[in-house]
Amino acid sequence: MKCVMCNVKCGMGALVLVASLATLAPLSYAQQNADVDAVKQRAALNSAKADLEEARKKRDMAVAARWKDRETANQERELFNEKYNESKEKVDALMSERARLFEDVRVAREDLAQVKLQAEKARAEYLSLAAGPERLETLSKFAEQGIPFKIAERVEVQNKVKKEMGLYRDDPLRIAQSILNAARAEMEFTRESGVEKAELVFGSSVAQGDRMRLGGLYAMQMANAVDINGLHPAALMLPVAGEKKRVFSWQENLTPDTKSEISKAFAEAKDSAYVMVPVDVLLSTELSSEMANHQETTWKDDLKVFFKNGGILMYPIATLFGLGLLIVLWRLIWLVVAGFGGLSTRRCIKALEKGDVATARNLSSKLHGKVGKVLRTVLSKNYPNRASAEKALEEVFAAESPKIEMGLSWISVFAATAPLLGLLGTVMGMIELFDVITMHGTSDPKLLAGGISIALVTTEAGLIVAIPLQLLHTFLTNRADALRGRMEAAGLAVLNALWINESVKED
């Protein structure tokens, strides 16, 4: 189309040019030729116009077709958009429904999990009501701690309960009933008591006699026949210390008092409803040993046992006591010797009071002890004045005072240290006691006796040492103060007797 339009423009320009030329000059041959060319050009121009018109028609047809296609496309696009919007709304609705369903499923799952958790918790609580084998430990301890009678029957009852615990785990009520029945059977066993005839074994011999049992705490037997000593053989079922735990056995080595009590108990059981029996309700091995093997002990044996029960701290406590007594004895003898010569001292002072200085000098040369030393210090020399004599006395007191107080502080230290060592033993005993309780519990009193003995005996020993040492320290301190006071009184008396008399004479 661009080319056609250019040709049309060119032809019109040519026609204008030809017309101009025709108006400018008259026609000539050349002009004729020019007219012919103009005609040709007009024809070409007309042809170009026709082509242009046809091209315009084609263009209009193409534009119309394009608009028609565009309109069709727009209609299809609108139809697609409508369907798309409808589908999108449906998808959004489905997504909303899906989210709602997911939320419902999530809530339902949480409710289900909560219900399952509550069900498991309820089931666990229900099953926890079913007692385990540990519930029978108390009953087992009765069988272990009591005298060994009807052991087979009692163990069979407990084994039956344990078997039911495994078979009927989901039935706590039945298990509880079985435990109660076992406990009732154990209580019935502990209530059993009475006297029966039986064949009794004493050492390697067998004899007819009577046997008495009080539940699971006590049993004794006595033969009808008498032995070569004229006594009925008797025995008690008592606990003894074994390797792992307490063991019960028949003890025949009984004290005469125990045998007489056994004989009296059997006699009362036949004639009276009230019977006194020598029973150890604690079933301790120590008390049982005292009943079966009682021996007379001297104070030396008791002291050895006391020293042994106190443990290792008894050695330093005893050392303090011994050293304290030695120092007390030493200082007591020294103070007695230092204060010796009281009658001669009084004579010398009386002579000074009367003004007889010569007699006082003669007597002072024979004096002994610290008071005599004070008098000799002043009377043995002729001091020019009282000040010189006082300085000499001060030197004597400065030298003798430490000697008088020597060793007394050590006695006080020993008296104060002994209770502290006893307290240390108490702490050690309590620690040992707690260790025993942690490992073995409180079922066996013998295991606890070691810690208790150390805890109590060391404190007692410390007080036994501290109290007399403190009293002796006070006694010796008073004697030392009394000696020092006598020395001061003697020194003052001799100074006053010498210089007061001279001052009076000068006046």
Nearest to 147, CA basis, from 57, 69, 248: 248
- Average pLDDT of the segment spanning 259-281: 75
Q: Left (φ > 0), alpha (ψ -120 to 50) or beta: where does 254 sit?
A: beta
Considering the domain architecture, whether residues 468 and 363 belong to the same structural domain is answered as: yes
Six-digit token string for 429: 């005993």
Range 395-400 contact pairs with CB under 8 angstroms and sequence separation of 24 or more:
396/491, 397/487, 397/488, 397/491, 400/370, 400/373, 400/487
CA gap 35, 27 in Å, rounded: 9
Domain stop point among 173, 190, 207: 190
Instruction: List phi, psi (to 5°) of 341.
Output: 95, 35
Residue 349 within any structural domain of the chain: yes
Considering the domain architecture, whether residues 348 and 488 belong to the same structural domain is answered as: yes
Considering the domain architecture, whether residues 151 and 181 belong to the same structural domain is answered as: yes
Considering the domain architecture, whether residues 416 and 349 belong to the same structural domain is answered as: yes
Query: How many domains does the chain divide into?
Result: 4
Instruction: Identify the three-state secondary structure at position 256.
Output: helix
Q: Say if residue 114 is exposed, middle or buried (CB neighbours under 10 Å; 0-12, 13-18, 19+).
A: exposed
Residue 307 within any structural domain of the chain: no
Answer whether 240's CB lies under 8 Å from 289's CB. Answer: yes
Digit-coded pLDDT (tens) for 237-246: 777 665 555 6
With tokens 């125990």, the residue in question is 258
- Average pLDDT of the segment spanning 497-506: 56
Nearest to 251, CA basis, from 197, 293, 194: 293
> What's the pLDDT score for residue 168?
81
Considering the domain architecture, whether residues 163 and 238 belong to the same structural domain is answered as: no
For residue 143, give every residue at least 6 positions away whose Cβ sits within 8 Å of its Cβ, in sequence order, or none.
151, 154, 155, 158
Considering the domain architecture, whether residues 370 and 501 belong to the same structural domain is answered as: yes
Answer whether 157's CB lies under 8 Å from 182's CB. Answer: yes
pLDDT of residue 27 exceeding 70, the answer is: no
Strand-pair category, 234-241 with 246-251: antiparallel
Domain range for 270 is 195-292
Answer whether 437's CB lies under 8 Å from 277's CB. Answer: no
Burial 275-312 (b: 16+ CB within 10 A, else e): bebbbbeebbbebbbebbeeeeeeeeeeeeebeebbbe
CA gap 288, 406 in Å, rounded: 54
pLDDT of residue 99 exceeding 80, the answer is: yes
Six-digit token string for 47: 């042809």
Considering the domain architecture, whether residues 48 and 72 belong to the same structural domain is answered as: yes
Helices and strands of the chain, counted as H and E runs? 16, 5
Q: What are the start-end ranges of the H helices in 272-407? A: 285-292, 299-310, 314-338, 342-354, 357-364, 369-379, 386-405
pLDDT of residue 488 exceeding 50, the answer is: yes
> What's the pLDDT score for residue 507?
40
Residue 304 within any structural domain of the chain: no
Compute the 3-state secondary structure of the chain and give helix, strand, coil in percent, each to the nearest 5.
Answer: 75, 10, 15
Digit-coded pLDDT (tens) for 28-73: 677 788 888 888 888 889 988 998 999 999 999 999 999 999 899 9
Nearest to 321, CA basis, from 402, 406, 403, 421: 421
Residue 303 within any structural domain of the chain: no
Answer whether 168's CB lies under 8 Å from 174's CB. Answer: yes
> What's the pLDDT score for residue 12?
44
| Helical pair 369-379 and 342-354, crossing angle rounded to 10 deg | 30
Residue 300 within any structural domain of the chain: no
- Average pLDDT of the segment spanning 421-446: 76
Considering the domain architecture, whether residues 167 and 269 belong to the same structural domain is answered as: no
With tokens 């949480």, the residue in question is 110
pLDDT of residue 469 exceeding 90, the answer is: yes
Answer whether 350's CB lies under 8 Å from 358's CB. Answer: no
Digit-coded pLDDT (tens) for 150-206: 778 888 888 888 888 888 877 888 888 888 888 888 888 877 777 888 878 777 778
Residue 301 within any structural domain of the chain: no
CA gap 490, 367 in Å, rounded: 12
CA gap 486, 340 in Å, rounded: 11
pLDDT band at 355 (very low <50, low <70, confident <90, very high): low
Considering the domain architecture, whether residues 91 and 206 belong to the same structural domain is answered as: no
Residue 71's CB is within 10 A of a number of other CB atoms, namely 10
Considering the domain architecture, whether residues 387 and 470 belong to the same structural domain is answered as: yes
Residue 129 within any structural domain of the chain: no
Considering the domain architecture, whether residues 139 and 115 belong to the same structural domain is answered as: no
| pTM, rounded to two decimals | 0.44
Six-digit token string for 215: 């539940």
β-sheet with 234-241: strand ranges across? 193-202, 205-214, 218-223, 234-241, 246-251
Instruction: Identify the three-state secondary structure at position 211.
Output: strand
pLDDT band at 21 (very low <50, low <70, confident <90, very high): very low
Which string of DSSP letters, residue by residue, matches 129-163?
TS--GGGGHHHHHHHHHS--SSHHHHHHHHHHHHH
Residue 308 within any structural domain of the chain: no
Considering the domain architecture, whether residues 233 and 141 belong to the same structural domain is answered as: no
